[in-house]
Amino acid sequence: MRLSDFKALTFDCYGTLIDWESGMFEALKPLTSRVSPALSRDQVLEAHARHESSQQLSTPAMIYSELLAVVYKRLAEEWNVPAPWEECRAYGTSIKDWPAFPDSAEALAYLKTHYRLCILSNVDNASFAHSNRRLKIAFDAIYTAQDIGSYKPSARNFDYMLEKLKGLGLRRPDILHTAESLFHDHVPANAHGLASCWIYRRHDKQGFGATMNPGAIPKHDFKFNSMADLVAAHRRELAS
C-alpha cells in the first residue's frame, strides 16, 4: 500500500491539525490555577477527556462549544473549585484561540495538489470556521458533529461521511482517514473498512492526553509523527 494509492484524505482536525491540547490547557488556566495541589498537564487533559467523552455520549446533539462549557463545569466540580457559568461559557468559545500545529497549513497546501481534502470533526461549524482560517486551506468537504447530530467514535459519523463522499464520486478504497486519535478515529475507521494514517502527535509523551484510551491499539496503515513527515513520505514516493 502506498500513500499515492488514494484520491482523498479525510482528516480529524483537533489533535491532528489544530493543537487542541495546548489550546485547552491554556484556556483552562483560570480554573486550574485555583486547584490545590497543582495538577500536571496530562492530569488536566485526561480529566477533560473523561468528562468530554461522557457528555458527548449523554448529549450527542449538543453543539460542541456548549458542550465544552458543561465539561468546564464538571471539571470545577471534580476539583472542588468555584466556576461561574460565564467562565464556563468563555471556555466553550476558546476554540477560536486554539493554535494550529506549525506544520499543518504548509502540509495541507502541498497535499491539496495531490488529493481531495475533507474534514470529519467533533466540533460545530462556527468553531471550525475559526480553525479553518488558521489552516489556510479550502477543504473539499467539511462534516461536523453539528451536521451529523452525534460525536465520533459513533459509527453514525463515519456512515454520514462515506455517504456524502460517495456523492462526490469517492469510494471507500479511494479514502485514507488521517488522524491522531486512536479512540475517536482509528477504531471506527477500522470498523468501516477504511485505510488509516496515524499522525502520532503525542509520540514524545506518555498516555493518550485529551483522548480516551482505546484499549488495544487499532490497525493503522501508515504512521507519522507529524504532518510534515507525511508530506516527506509522499514526496519520497513520487521521487521513486
Query: Which residues constitute the domain of residue 42?
Result: 21-97
Q: CA dist 172 to 4, 148, 161, 169, 193, Å? A: 15, 19, 10, 10, 8
Let me know whether 212 and 137 are in one domain.
yes
Q: CA dist 25 to 42, 145, 198, 225, 228, Å? A: 9, 22, 23, 21, 24
Distance CA 199, CA 110 (A): 16
Distance CA 219, CA 221 (A): 7
pLDDT at 43: 97
pLDDT in tens, 72-94: 999 999 999 999 999 999 999 99
Let me know whether 117 and 57 are in one domain.
no
pLDDT at 34: 95
Let me know whether 213 and 156 are in one domain.
yes
Please count the structural domains in the chain: 2
Let me know whether 78 and 130 are in one domain.
no
pLDDT in tens, 28-75: 999 999 999 999 999 999 999 999 999 999 999 999 999 999 999 999
Determine the Cα angle at 212 with ends 217 and 35, to 5°: 145
Let me know whether 150 and 197 are in one domain.
yes
Let me know whether 188 and 234 are in one domain.
yes
Sheet holding 195-199, edge to edge: 141-144, 116-121, 8-11, 175-179, 195-199, 222-224
Q: Which of 97, 112, 144 is the last residue of a domain?
A: 97
Let me know whether 214 and 232 are in one domain.
yes
The segments of the chain whose pLDDT lies below 70 read: none
**CA contacts within 13 A on the Cβ side of 176:** 23
Residues involved in catalysis = 12
Let me know whether 106 and 222 are in one domain.
yes
Let me know whether 111 and 83 are in one domain.
no
Helix crossing, 85-92 with 64-79: angle to 10°?
Answer: 130
Let me know whether 64 and 116 are in one domain.
no
Let me know whether 87 and 103 are in one domain.
no
Q: Which of 97, 112, 141 is the last residue of a domain?
A: 97
Distance CA 114, CA 92 (A): 35
* CATH label of the domain that carries residue 156: 3.40.50.1000
Distance CA 215, CA 213 (A): 6
* CATH label of the domain that carries residue 59: 1.10.150.750
Let me know whether 88 and 152 are in one domain.
no
Q: Which of 64, 97, 130 is the last residue of a domain?
A: 97
